[in-house]
Chains A and B, each alone.
Chain A
Amino acid sequence: MKLLKLISERMPDSKNILAVYAFIVTLVYSWTLFTSFYKLPSWLFYLSIGQILSVYAYAFSFDLLESLIALTVILLLDFTVFLFLKNKEEFQSRSMILAGILLGTSMLRLALFQNYEDITAFLSGELLWWAIAIPLGLVLAVFAPRIKLVRTIFEGFAERATVFVYIYIPLSLISLVVVLIRNIN
């Protein structure tokens, strides 16, 4: 009963969750779009426009799944690791800092170690990278949102990023239908 009460007290409203999701969506989809621009010139060499759009359909379907996974992880962390923090006001910025650091680390590592020659560096440094990124993310997520300016910046960003949810999510749902149709016998 005590735990349920705690959870209900801590439960952020849907607007706050949407803001965090908007931030995640912005990061995940922007990354995919950014990396696709490297690939687009070569796709134009050997794929038709319809085929290229199909590749994007896979990409957006993947992004939808990933953004939901990321949101679930953030919410889980909020109700486990950060359960002791009772300040609802900090939920948005705390979650965005966590998402930013975890996704950012992943993206940075993917950008730095792309090729066959980088495999050893990717593997040997992996533990260290995460050993720094995760505690750093947790510490920042606890303390940084206490600064009002930080909260204002993140909330402002989230507010503006919400528009991407209304663009990307319908697009992803259409993409999901395209992927399903392409895979029906």
Chain B
Amino acid sequence: MTNFSRRDFLKLLGAASVGALASERVLSLKAADSSKPNIIIILWDAFSARHLSLYGYPRQTTPNIDAFAEYSTVYHNHYSGGNFTTCGTASMLTGMIPWKHRAINYDGLVRAEYVHNNPYTLLGSDYKRLMFAQNPWPDRLVGQYYEDVDRFLPPTAFSLFEDSPAFFENDRAIASVAMSSFLTPIQGGNAPVGSSILGYMNKSKVLNFADEQKSPRYPKGIPEAMNMGYMIPYLNEDVYEGLFSELTQLEANGDPYFSYFHLYSPHYPYRPRNDYLKMFRDDGYAPASKPIHPLSVGLQQDYLNGQRDMYDRQIAQIDEEFGRLIPRLEESGVLENSYVIFTADHGELFERGFAGHGFQFMYESVLHIPLIIHAPGQTKRQDIHALTSNTDILPTMLSITGKETTPDMDGRVLPGLGGEVDEDRPIISLVGVDNSAFGVIKKAVIAMRKREFKLIAYLGYEDSYKKSFELYNIEADPEELDDLSDRDTATLSAMKDELMTYLDEANKPFRKS
């Protein structure tokens, strides 16, 4: 008897969907309403624009994304609102700067009064709406308005775990806090598992299962989606097959649809397939040497370079998956009436004695994220060099679908898709995990990009870092090596005043009168 694996099943499902689609394609295309285009967000977690060959990275990490960009709009200066998943994703989904949406803590949620600012609610029921996040944090964020999601896949979908029955679907956000952060987490955090019997059994089962997953194709281990609550082993091959299958099914349905795929790779742990393990080895590339930052943990440069190599290999491997996916979507007609938004929630950095994201660092590698948008029928590349923010994604989506925006949003319609370029626009990013979501922001690192300059403000870090402000000219010094704060005091003062005015305004609702 031949073995029929889960992967084979996914492939068969994909093929069957294409088959079904082929017969319905004419009907579907006839029914396609260009005023209601489909929107597909493909988001890679922890994917820094600074590691794409498309944006000038010396390593050829992303030949397939580069090819996709040739018939898409490429945003060269796109920034995330935050430097970790919850904060960055909430900015994208709400169109708001973190100091307003307030999902600023690692496990955080969007403030109740702003929850309705999201693509699922605002696109409305005339769209079929799908959500899939391998990372449980965005799953939790969207769980705040689960009732507006037509198909809500669990983080374990397309993973090596067998599908388990879903519990607490109608209280997804709070149940997720209770279960994955408290009662039955697998690892991480600063506390033991809260449930002594079921929590223990779950932890033991999941860790043993993850540990048993071995494949000669993955000598460094199977990729795992992991945060405090989870440990989900998965293969990118299966995830992309699943993504294709979902999209072809939506397409076959004929209704306009919105789908958001928050994919975990290239997030840590970097575990590329064996055919990528030697890539970039001894290729002569040496990243710029940067001084150890006083706030960092002081990791050695050799270690950082090793981590960077693994990260780049992971990117190269998923670029291959992306390269397989796009032509298949094209052939199956999915792209004909769809905007494909390819982006990230935040970046990753390997410098100044630190590796990763979600720390107090707000340097370019962790905030500068890719944004490539393919519009239906677009055949030529368009390059946008204006500064843009991931808070612009939601207003842009609403604009192209003819839906109403809300006055709460900070984001604007993207240039190239109907929006205007505003040279004087400041782009704000914030990390403030040490603040209450319900209070004044006192301790935070805030970055403000404006024109060629970038100001980084360290608020409340006087004890550990004497310097409260750093100022860089990003166009002249993209590696942020030359801090101008002592020399260009006029620019520093003007940007500082502007940022503090914005912050003061943002803090107003939280001040006790």
Q: How many angstroms from the CA of A43 to the CA of B189 in the assembled complex?
A: 13
Q: Which A residues are CB-close (under 8 A) to B108?
A: 45-46
B183 at the A interface (CB under 8 A)? yes
Binds B, one of A75-83, A114-122, A135-143, A156-164: A114-122
Of B169, B182, B199, B203, the most chain A CB neighbours within 10 A belong to B182
Q: Which A residues are CB-close (under 8 A) to B178?
A: 54-55, 58-59
B196 at the A interface (CB under 8 A)? yes
Give the A-B contact count at a CB cut-off of 8 A. Answer: 134
Q: How many angstroms from the CA of A62 to the CA of B183 in the assembled complex?
A: 8
Within 8 A of B (CB), among A53-88: 54-55, 58-59, 62-63, 65-66, 69-70
B331 at the A interface (CB under 8 A)? no
Known contacts: A35-B191, A110-B192. The answer to whether A48 contacts B112 by CB under 8 A is yes
A123 at the B interface (CB under 8 A)? yes
Binds A, one of B10-18, B39-47, B204-212, B491-499: B204-212
A39 at the B interface (CB under 8 A)? yes
Check B196 against A27 for contact (C-beta < 8 Å).
yes
Check A116 against B105 for contact (C-beta < 8 Å).
no
Known contacts: A35-B182, A46-B105, A123-B211. The answer to whether A59 contacts B194 by CB under 8 A is yes
Check B211 against A110 for contact (C-beta < 8 Å).
no
Q: Which B residues are CB-close (under 8 A) to A43?
A: 177
Across the interface, B187 reaches (CB within 8 A) one of A63, A66, A118, A185, namely A118
| Contact indicator per residue, chain B 141-171, by CB within 8 Å of chain A (1) or not (0) | 0000000000000000000000000001111
Q: Which A residues are CB-close (under 8 A) to B440?
A: none
Check A54 against B174 for contact (C-beta < 8 Å).
yes
Q: How many angstroms from the CA of A65 to the CA of B193 in the assembled complex?
A: 16
Q: From B193, which residue of chain A is reached at the shortest CB distance?
A: A110
Q: Which B residues are CB-close (under 8 A) to A48?
A: 112, 438
Q: How many angstroms from the CA of A106 to the CA of B184 in the assembled complex?
A: 13
Check B174 against A65 for contact (C-beta < 8 Å).
no
Of A36, A110, A118, the most chain B CB neighbours within 10 A belong to A110
Q: From B168, which residue of chain A is reached at the shortest CB distance?
A: A183
Q: From A114, which residue of chain B is reached at the shortest CB distance?
A: B192
Q: How many angstroms from the CA of A44 to the CA of B107 in the assembled complex?
A: 12
Q: How many angstroms from the CA of A185 to the CA of B170 in the assembled complex?
A: 6
Residue count of chain B within 8 Å CB distance of chain A: 44
Of A36, A43, A66, A185, the most chain B CB neighbours within 10 A belong to A66
Check A126 against B204 for contact (C-beta < 8 Å).
yes
Q: How far is the CB of B234 from chain A (nearest CB, A)?
A: 17
A107 at the B interface (CB under 8 A)? yes
A28 at the B interface (CB under 8 A)? yes
Within 8 A of B (CB), among A137-185: 179, 182-185
Q: From A184, which residue of chain B is reached at the shortest CB distance?
A: B170
Check A45 against B187 for contact (C-beta < 8 Å).
no
Known contacts: A35-B191, A36-B194, A48-B112. The answer to whether A106 contacts B174 by CB under 8 A is no
Q: How far is the CB of B177 from chain A (nearest CB, A)?
A: 6
| Contact indicator per residue, chain B 205-228, by CB within 8 Å of chain A (1) or not (0) | 001100100000000000000100
Q: How far is the CB of A77 from chain B (nearest CB, A)?
A: 15
B190 at the A interface (CB under 8 A)? yes
Check A38 against B190 for contact (C-beta < 8 Å).
yes
Known contacts: A59-B182, A119-B207, A182-B174. The answer to whether A32 contacts B435 by CB under 8 A is no
Across the interface, B179 reaches (CB within 8 A) one of A38, A58, A185, namely A58
Q: From B437, which residue of chain A is reached at the shortest CB distance?
A: A46
Check A35 against B170 for contact (C-beta < 8 Å).
no
Q: Which A residues are CB-close (under 8 A) to B204?
A: 122, 126
Residues on B facing A (Cβ under 8 Å)? 102-105, 107-109, 112, 168-171, 174-175, 177-179, 181-183, 187-200, 203-204, 207-208, 211, 226, 435-438
**Apart from A43-B177, A58-B175: 20 A-B pairs, beta carbons within 8 A:** A31-B194, A35-B191, A38-B189, A46-B108, A48-B112, A51-B174, A62-B195, A62-B198, A69-B198, A103-B197, A106-B197, A107-B192, A110-B203, A114-B191, A114-B192, A114-B193, A122-B203, A123-B208, A182-B175, A183-B175
Residues on A facing B (Cβ under 8 Å)? 27-28, 31-32, 35-36, 38-39, 42-48, 51, 54-55, 58-59, 62-63, 65-66, 69-70, 103, 106-107, 109-111, 114-116, 118-119, 122-123, 126, 179, 182-185
